[in-house]
Chain A
Amino acid sequence: MDWLTMERWSPYAAGIGIGILSWLAFLLSDKPIGCSTAFARTSGMIERLFAGARVNEKPYYKLFRPEIDWEWMLVVGVIVGAFISAQLAGTFHPRWVPDHWAEAFGSAPPVRLIVALLGGILMGFGARWANGCTSGHGISGSLQLAVSGWIAAACFFLAGIATAMLIYRGFGS
Protein backbone atom coordinates (compact mmCIF):
# COMPACT_ATOMS: atom_id res chain seq x y z
CA MET A 1 0.00 0.00 0.00
CA ASP A 2 2.97 2.29 -0.66
CA TRP A 3 0.87 4.43 -3.00
CA LEU A 4 -1.25 5.63 -0.09
CA THR A 5 1.75 6.94 1.86
CA MET A 6 3.60 8.42 -1.12
CA GLU A 7 4.10 12.15 -0.85
CA ARG A 8 3.36 12.80 -4.52
CA TRP A 9 1.82 10.85 -7.37
CA SER A 10 2.56 11.29 -11.02
CA PRO A 11 0.38 14.16 -12.29
CA TYR A 12 -0.95 11.74 -14.90
CA ALA A 13 -2.16 9.31 -12.22
CA ALA A 14 -3.88 12.16 -10.34
CA GLY A 15 -5.37 13.46 -13.61
CA ILE A 16 -6.71 10.05 -14.63
CA GLY A 17 -8.29 9.70 -11.18
CA ILE A 18 -9.99 13.10 -11.44
CA GLY A 19 -11.21 12.23 -14.96
CA ILE A 20 -12.79 9.03 -13.63
CA LEU A 21 -14.35 10.99 -10.76
CA SER A 22 -16.05 13.19 -13.35
CA TRP A 23 -17.69 10.09 -14.85
CA LEU A 24 -18.90 9.04 -11.40
CA ALA A 25 -20.30 12.51 -10.68
CA PHE A 26 -22.40 12.39 -13.87
CA LEU A 27 -23.39 8.77 -13.33
CA LEU A 28 -24.25 8.85 -9.61
CA SER A 29 -25.33 12.47 -9.18
CA ASP A 30 -26.19 13.81 -12.65
CA LYS A 31 -23.88 16.75 -11.87
CA PRO A 32 -20.54 18.10 -13.01
CA ILE A 33 -17.88 18.58 -10.31
CA GLY A 34 -17.48 22.19 -9.16
CA CYS A 35 -16.38 24.06 -6.04
CA SER A 36 -17.11 27.78 -6.08
CA THR A 37 -20.91 27.66 -5.69
CA ALA A 38 -20.31 26.13 -2.26
CA PHE A 39 -18.44 29.30 -1.26
CA ALA A 40 -21.37 31.47 -2.40
CA ARG A 41 -23.83 29.36 -0.39
CA THR A 42 -21.58 29.50 2.69
CA SER A 43 -21.27 33.25 2.34
CA GLY A 44 -25.07 33.48 2.28
CA MET A 45 -25.37 31.25 5.35
CA ILE A 46 -22.90 33.44 7.27
CA GLU A 47 -24.70 36.60 6.17
CA ARG A 48 -27.99 35.09 7.32
CA LEU A 49 -26.56 34.59 10.82
CA PHE A 50 -26.21 38.37 11.10
CA ALA A 51 -28.95 39.76 8.85
CA GLY A 52 -31.64 37.09 9.31
CA ALA A 53 -33.97 35.43 6.82
CA ARG A 54 -34.22 38.46 4.50
CA VAL A 55 -30.89 37.31 3.03
CA ASN A 56 -32.87 34.52 1.33
CA GLU A 57 -34.74 37.21 -0.63
CA LYS A 58 -31.62 38.55 -2.37
CA PRO A 59 -31.90 37.73 -6.09
CA TYR A 60 -28.55 35.92 -6.08
CA TYR A 61 -29.46 33.74 -3.12
CA LYS A 62 -32.77 32.85 -4.74
CA LEU A 63 -30.67 31.38 -7.55
CA PHE A 64 -28.11 29.77 -5.21
CA ARG A 65 -29.98 29.12 -1.99
CA PRO A 66 -27.79 29.44 1.15
CA GLU A 67 -28.06 25.80 2.15
CA ILE A 68 -26.03 22.62 2.29
CA ASP A 69 -26.20 20.70 -0.98
CA TRP A 70 -24.25 18.08 -2.94
CA GLU A 71 -21.50 20.48 -4.00
CA TRP A 72 -21.16 21.90 -0.47
CA MET A 73 -20.57 18.36 0.80
CA LEU A 74 -18.11 17.81 -2.05
CA VAL A 75 -15.97 20.73 -0.81
CA VAL A 76 -16.16 19.38 2.76
CA GLY A 77 -14.99 16.08 1.26
CA VAL A 78 -12.03 17.82 -0.43
CA ILE A 79 -10.89 19.02 3.01
CA VAL A 80 -11.28 15.52 4.49
CA GLY A 81 -9.62 13.78 1.53
CA ALA A 82 -6.64 16.15 1.37
CA PHE A 83 -6.21 15.82 5.14
CA ILE A 84 -6.17 12.01 4.92
CA SER A 85 -3.69 12.15 2.04
CA ALA A 86 -1.35 14.54 3.88
CA GLN A 87 -1.60 12.53 7.11
CA LEU A 88 -0.80 9.24 5.35
CA ALA A 89 2.26 10.82 3.74
CA GLY A 90 3.25 12.61 6.94
CA THR A 91 3.30 15.95 5.13
CA PHE A 92 0.73 17.77 7.27
CA HIS A 93 2.32 20.73 8.98
CA PRO A 94 0.96 24.19 9.79
CA ARG A 95 2.74 26.91 7.85
CA TRP A 96 2.09 30.64 7.44
CA VAL A 97 4.09 31.40 4.30
CA PRO A 98 4.78 29.13 1.29
CA ASP A 99 8.46 28.62 0.36
CA HIS A 100 8.24 30.19 -3.07
CA TRP A 101 6.67 33.32 -1.65
CA ALA A 102 9.23 33.51 1.19
CA GLU A 103 12.15 33.34 -1.27
CA ALA A 104 10.84 36.30 -3.26
CA PHE A 105 9.12 38.45 -0.66
CA GLY A 106 10.44 37.32 2.73
CA SER A 107 8.86 35.14 5.39
CA ALA A 108 6.83 37.77 7.28
CA PRO A 109 3.31 36.33 7.64
CA PRO A 110 1.30 39.61 7.60
CA VAL A 111 2.37 40.55 4.04
CA ARG A 112 1.48 37.13 2.63
CA LEU A 113 -1.81 36.99 4.55
CA ILE A 114 -2.98 40.42 3.36
CA VAL A 115 -2.13 39.49 -0.23
CA ALA A 116 -3.89 36.12 0.15
CA LEU A 117 -7.00 37.85 1.51
CA LEU A 118 -7.06 40.33 -1.40
CA GLY A 119 -6.43 37.56 -3.92
CA GLY A 120 -9.23 35.53 -2.37
CA ILE A 121 -11.69 38.43 -2.57
CA LEU A 122 -10.91 38.91 -6.28
CA MET A 123 -11.14 35.18 -6.87
CA GLY A 124 -14.49 34.81 -5.08
CA PHE A 125 -15.93 37.80 -6.92
CA GLY A 126 -14.57 36.61 -10.28
CA ALA A 127 -15.68 33.00 -9.76
CA ARG A 128 -19.27 34.05 -9.17
CA TRP A 129 -19.13 36.61 -12.00
CA ALA A 130 -17.93 33.89 -14.39
CA ASN A 131 -20.33 31.36 -12.80
CA GLY A 132 -17.57 28.81 -12.16
CA CYS A 133 -13.98 28.15 -11.19
CA THR A 134 -11.03 25.99 -12.19
CA SER A 135 -13.05 22.84 -11.44
CA GLY A 136 -16.51 23.85 -12.67
CA HIS A 137 -15.33 25.57 -15.85
CA GLY A 138 -11.71 24.47 -16.25
CA ILE A 139 -12.24 20.74 -15.81
CA SER A 140 -15.98 19.99 -15.92
CA GLY A 141 -16.81 22.64 -18.53
CA SER A 142 -13.91 21.70 -20.78
CA LEU A 143 -14.65 17.98 -20.65
CA GLN A 144 -18.27 18.63 -21.65
CA LEU A 145 -16.85 20.64 -24.57
CA ALA A 146 -18.80 23.65 -23.27
CA VAL A 147 -17.91 26.91 -24.97
CA SER A 148 -18.20 28.71 -21.60
CA GLY A 149 -15.71 26.25 -20.04
CA TRP A 150 -13.01 26.66 -22.68
CA ILE A 151 -13.30 30.46 -22.76
CA ALA A 152 -13.27 30.69 -18.95
CA ALA A 153 -10.25 28.38 -18.64
CA ALA A 154 -8.33 30.46 -21.19
CA CYS A 155 -9.17 33.67 -19.28
CA PHE A 156 -8.25 32.14 -15.89
CA PHE A 157 -4.80 31.19 -17.11
CA LEU A 158 -4.18 34.29 -19.25
CA ALA A 159 -4.88 36.66 -16.37
CA GLY A 160 -3.29 34.30 -13.83
CA ILE A 161 -0.02 34.07 -15.77
CA ALA A 162 0.09 37.83 -16.42
CA THR A 163 -0.59 38.59 -12.74
CA ALA A 164 1.92 36.08 -11.33
CA MET A 165 4.63 37.28 -13.74
CA LEU A 166 3.92 40.90 -12.83
CA ILE A 167 4.08 40.21 -9.09
CA TYR A 168 7.23 38.07 -9.20
CA ARG A 169 9.15 39.99 -11.89
CA GLY A 170 7.98 43.42 -10.74
CA PHE A 171 8.28 43.11 -6.97
CA GLY A 172 10.16 39.88 -6.23
CA SER A 173 13.82 39.78 -5.27
Chain B
Amino acid sequence: MLKRLQGNSRAQLWVGLLLGIAFGFLLQKGGVTNYDVIIGQLLWRDFTVVKIMLTAVIVGTIGVHALKSLGLADLHPKPGSVGMTVIGGLIFGVGFGVLGYCPGTVAGAIAQGELDALVGAVGILIGAGLFAAVYHRLQPGILSRGSFGDLTLPRLFRVNHWVVVVPVVIVLVGLLAWIESAGL
Protein backbone atom coordinates (compact mmCIF):
# COMPACT_ATOMS: atom_id res chain seq x y z
CA MET B 1 0.00 0.00 0.00
CA LEU B 2 2.77 2.43 0.99
CA LYS B 3 4.98 1.19 -1.86
CA ARG B 4 2.15 1.83 -4.30
CA LEU B 5 1.69 5.36 -3.02
CA GLN B 6 5.45 5.98 -3.13
CA GLY B 7 5.54 4.75 -6.73
CA ASN B 8 2.62 6.88 -7.94
CA SER B 9 4.40 9.98 -9.18
CA ARG B 10 1.20 11.96 -9.73
CA ALA B 11 -0.06 11.26 -6.22
CA GLN B 12 3.40 12.12 -4.87
CA LEU B 13 3.07 15.69 -6.16
CA TRP B 14 0.01 16.06 -3.93
CA VAL B 15 1.72 14.39 -0.97
CA GLY B 16 4.64 16.81 -1.44
CA LEU B 17 2.28 19.77 -1.53
CA LEU B 18 0.45 18.68 1.64
CA LEU B 19 3.67 17.97 3.55
CA GLY B 20 4.98 21.35 2.36
CA ILE B 21 1.86 23.15 3.60
CA ALA B 22 2.35 21.60 7.03
CA PHE B 23 6.08 22.42 6.94
CA GLY B 24 5.45 26.07 5.98
CA PHE B 25 2.76 26.38 8.64
CA LEU B 26 5.16 25.06 11.32
CA LEU B 27 8.06 27.26 10.17
CA GLN B 28 5.84 30.35 10.29
CA LYS B 29 4.29 29.49 13.67
CA GLY B 30 7.76 28.71 14.99
CA GLY B 31 8.90 32.21 14.03
CA VAL B 32 11.77 31.17 11.77
CA THR B 33 10.31 32.85 8.71
CA ASN B 34 11.50 36.11 10.33
CA TYR B 35 14.90 37.60 9.48
CA ASP B 36 15.10 38.97 13.03
CA VAL B 37 14.79 35.49 14.55
CA ILE B 38 17.35 33.85 12.23
CA ILE B 39 19.91 36.66 12.48
CA GLY B 40 19.26 36.71 16.25
CA GLN B 41 20.38 33.08 16.34
CA LEU B 42 23.53 33.77 14.34
CA LEU B 43 24.29 36.73 16.66
CA TRP B 44 23.76 34.40 19.65
CA ARG B 45 20.82 36.44 21.03
CA ASP B 46 17.77 34.32 20.24
CA PHE B 47 17.92 30.53 20.36
CA THR B 48 14.64 29.82 18.56
CA VAL B 49 16.31 28.34 15.47
CA VAL B 50 18.48 25.94 17.48
CA LYS B 51 15.53 24.92 19.68
CA ILE B 52 13.36 24.10 16.66
CA MET B 53 16.10 22.31 14.75
CA LEU B 54 17.33 20.22 17.69
CA THR B 55 13.78 19.26 18.68
CA ALA B 56 13.00 18.26 15.08
CA VAL B 57 16.23 16.24 14.89
CA ILE B 58 15.52 14.48 18.23
CA VAL B 59 11.95 13.55 17.26
CA GLY B 60 12.95 12.73 13.69
CA THR B 61 15.95 10.58 14.66
CA ILE B 62 13.93 8.40 17.02
CA GLY B 63 10.96 8.01 14.68
CA VAL B 64 12.81 7.46 11.44
CA HIS B 65 15.10 4.85 12.98
CA ALA B 66 12.07 3.14 14.54
CA LEU B 67 10.46 3.03 11.08
CA LYS B 68 13.68 1.57 9.73
CA SER B 69 13.78 -1.07 12.48
CA LEU B 70 10.17 -1.98 11.67
CA GLY B 71 11.03 -2.28 7.98
CA LEU B 72 8.68 0.60 7.08
CA ALA B 73 11.29 3.07 5.82
CA ASP B 74 14.66 3.15 4.10
CA LEU B 75 17.18 5.85 4.88
CA HIS B 76 18.62 8.04 2.12
CA PRO B 77 21.76 9.68 3.54
CA LYS B 78 23.38 12.07 1.07
CA PRO B 79 26.88 11.35 -0.16
CA GLY B 80 29.52 13.91 0.70
CA SER B 81 33.17 14.80 0.52
CA VAL B 82 35.44 17.30 2.23
CA GLY B 83 35.55 19.39 -0.95
CA MET B 84 31.78 19.25 -1.39
CA THR B 85 30.34 19.32 2.11
CA VAL B 86 32.84 21.52 3.97
CA ILE B 87 33.50 24.11 1.27
CA GLY B 88 29.89 24.18 0.05
CA GLY B 89 28.70 24.36 3.65
CA LEU B 90 30.96 27.32 4.38
CA ILE B 91 29.84 29.20 1.23
CA PHE B 92 26.23 28.49 2.20
CA GLY B 93 26.95 29.72 5.73
CA VAL B 94 28.30 33.05 4.50
CA GLY B 95 25.15 33.44 2.39
CA PHE B 96 23.08 32.46 5.46
CA GLY B 97 24.68 35.26 7.52
CA VAL B 98 24.22 37.82 4.74
CA LEU B 99 20.67 36.90 3.66
CA GLY B 100 19.29 35.92 7.07
CA TYR B 101 16.95 33.28 5.61
CA CYS B 102 17.56 29.78 4.21
CA PRO B 103 15.97 28.19 1.11
CA GLY B 104 12.99 26.82 3.08
CA THR B 105 12.38 29.78 5.37
CA VAL B 106 12.84 32.27 2.52
CA ALA B 107 9.77 30.74 0.85
CA GLY B 108 7.78 31.07 4.07
CA ALA B 109 9.05 34.62 4.60
CA ILE B 110 7.80 35.67 1.15
CA ALA B 111 4.39 34.29 2.11
CA GLN B 112 4.18 36.55 5.17
CA GLY B 113 5.04 39.62 3.09
CA GLU B 114 8.84 39.98 3.45
CA LEU B 115 9.96 41.63 0.23
CA ASP B 116 13.68 41.26 1.00
CA ALA B 117 13.05 37.51 1.10
CA LEU B 118 11.58 37.70 -2.41
CA VAL B 119 14.79 39.34 -3.64
CA GLY B 120 16.82 36.81 -1.66
CA ALA B 121 14.96 33.95 -3.37
CA VAL B 122 15.82 35.46 -6.77
CA GLY B 123 19.44 35.47 -5.57
CA ILE B 124 19.21 31.79 -4.63
CA LEU B 125 17.90 30.98 -8.12
CA ILE B 126 20.79 32.92 -9.68
CA GLY B 127 23.32 31.20 -7.41
CA ALA B 128 21.91 27.75 -8.21
CA GLY B 129 22.03 28.57 -11.94
CA LEU B 130 25.65 29.73 -11.65
CA PHE B 131 26.55 26.49 -9.91
CA ALA B 132 24.85 24.47 -12.67
CA ALA B 133 27.01 26.36 -15.18
CA VAL B 134 30.31 25.46 -13.48
CA TYR B 135 29.36 22.01 -12.13
CA HIS B 136 31.07 20.08 -14.93
CA ARG B 137 34.39 21.75 -14.04
CA LEU B 138 34.09 21.31 -10.27
CA GLN B 139 32.79 17.75 -10.28
CA PRO B 140 35.96 15.85 -11.27
CA GLY B 141 38.13 18.09 -9.07
CA ILE B 142 37.24 19.74 -5.81
CA LEU B 143 33.80 18.15 -5.35
CA SER B 144 35.33 14.66 -5.34
CA ARG B 145 38.21 15.56 -3.01
CA GLY B 146 38.13 13.58 0.25
CA SER B 147 34.96 11.66 -0.58
CA PHE B 148 33.30 9.67 2.21
CA GLY B 149 30.20 8.57 0.29
CA ASP B 150 26.81 8.24 1.94
CA LEU B 151 28.35 7.27 5.27
CA THR B 152 26.24 7.34 8.44
CA LEU B 153 27.52 7.43 12.02
CA PRO B 154 26.30 3.86 12.79
CA ARG B 155 28.16 2.55 9.72
CA LEU B 156 31.26 4.58 10.60
CA PHE B 157 31.37 2.99 14.06
CA ARG B 158 30.11 -0.38 12.72
CA VAL B 159 27.31 -0.62 15.28
CA ASN B 160 23.54 -1.07 15.30
CA HIS B 161 21.87 2.30 14.71
CA TRP B 162 20.30 2.38 18.20
CA VAL B 163 23.79 2.39 19.72
CA VAL B 164 24.22 5.83 18.12
CA VAL B 165 20.60 7.05 18.31
CA VAL B 166 20.35 6.74 22.10
CA PRO B 167 23.49 8.74 23.03
CA VAL B 168 22.84 11.36 20.31
CA VAL B 169 19.31 11.91 21.63
CA ILE B 170 20.57 12.14 25.22
CA VAL B 171 23.24 14.70 24.26
CA LEU B 172 20.78 16.82 22.24
CA VAL B 173 18.14 16.75 25.00
CA GLY B 174 20.87 17.74 27.47
CA LEU B 175 21.92 20.59 25.20
CA LEU B 176 18.33 21.90 25.04
CA ALA B 177 18.00 21.60 28.83
CA TRP B 178 21.23 23.56 29.23
CA ILE B 179 20.05 26.27 26.80
CA GLU B 180 16.79 26.61 28.78
CA SER B 181 18.54 26.66 32.18
CA ALA B 182 20.94 29.34 30.90
CA GLY B 183 17.87 31.43 30.01
CA LEU B 184 18.80 31.61 26.32
Q: In the assembled complex, which residues on chain A have CB atoms less than 8 Å from the CB atom of B35?
A: 98, 100-101
What does the 1/0 interface line of A1-43 toward B look like (CB < 8 Å)?
0000010110111111111111111111111110110111011
- Pick the contact of A27: B13, B67, B103 (CB < 8 A): B67
- Pick the contact of A18: B56, B123, B124 (CB < 8 A): B56
**CA A148 to CA B76, docked complex, whole Å:** 12
Chain B, interface size category, equals 35 or more
Q: Is the CB of A129 within 8 A of B22?
A: no
Most buried by A among B36, B55, B56: B56
Q: In the assembled complex, which residues on chain A have CB atoms less than 8 Å from the CB atom of B132?
A: 40, 43-44, 47, 58, 60-61, 128
What does the 1/0 interface line of B24-42 toward A look like (CB < 8 Å)?
1111111111111001101
- Pick the contact of B96: A30, A38, A86, A156 (CB < 8 A): A156
**CA A123 to CA B98, docked complex, whole Å:** 9
Within 8 A of A (CB), among B100-148: 100, 102-117, 119-133, 135-136, 138-139, 143, 148
Query: A122-B98, A124-B124 known; A129 and B39 CB under 8 Å?
Result: no
Within 8 A of B (CB), among A61-88: 61, 68-86
21 A-B residue pairs with Cβ-Cβ distance under 8 Å, sorted by A, are: A11-B48, A13-B30, A14-B32, A23-B73, A27-B2, A39-B128, A43-B132, A59-B136, A61-B132, A70-B13, A74-B17, A77-B17, A78-B20, A83-B24, A124-B126, A127-B103, A130-B89, A140-B60, A141-B77, A145-B77, A157-B42
Chain A, interface size category, equals 35 or more
- Pick the contact of A82: B78, B107, B152 (CB < 8 A): B107
A168 to chain B, nearest CB (A): 6
Q: In the assembled complex, which residues on chain B have CB atoms less than 8 Å from the CB atom of A26?
A: 64, 67, 73-75
Q: Is the CB of A132 within 8 A of B90?
A: no
Q: Is the CB of B13 within 8 A of A14?
A: no
Q: Is the CB of A15 within 8 A of B63?
A: no
Query: A60-B131, A78-B104, A120-B121 known; A83 and B112 CB under 8 Å?
Result: yes
- Pick the contact of A159: B2, B93, B115, B131 (CB < 8 A): B93
Q: In the assembled complex, which residues on chain B have CB atoms less than 8 Å from the CB atom of A137?
A: 78, 85, 89
Q: In the assembled complex, which residues on chain B have CB atoms less than 8 Å from the CB atom of A130?
A: 80, 84-85, 87-89, 91-92
Q: In the assembled complex, which residues on chain A have CB atoms less than 8 Å from the CB atom of B69?
A: none
Q: Is the CB of B103 within 8 A of A133?
A: yes
Q: In the assembled complex, which residues on chain B have CB atoms less than 8 Å from the CB atom of A99?
A: 36
Q: In the assembled complex, which residues on chain B have CB atoms less than 8 Å from the CB atom of A141?
A: 77-78
Q: Is the CB of A84 within 8 A of B25?
A: yes
Q: Is the CB of B13 within 8 A of A43?
A: no
Query: A44-B129, A139-B60, A144-B64 known; A120 and B123 CB under 8 Å?
Result: yes
Q: Does B182 contact A (CB under 8 A)?
A: no
- Look across to chain A and name the residue whose beta carbon is closest to the beta carbon of B66: A23
Q: Is the CB of B80 within 8 A of A148?
A: yes
**CA A37 to CA B76, docked complex, whole Å:** 15
- Look across to chain A and name the residue whose beta carbon is closest to the beta carbon of B102: A134
Within 8 A of B (CB), among A111-167: 112-113, 115-167
Q: In the assembled complex, which residues on chain A have CB atoms less than 8 Å from the CB atom of B28?
A: 81-82, 85-86
**CA A122 to CA B65, docked complex, whole Å:** 34
Q: Is the CB of B52 within 8 A of A162?
A: no
Q: Is the CB of A126 within 8 A of B57?
A: no
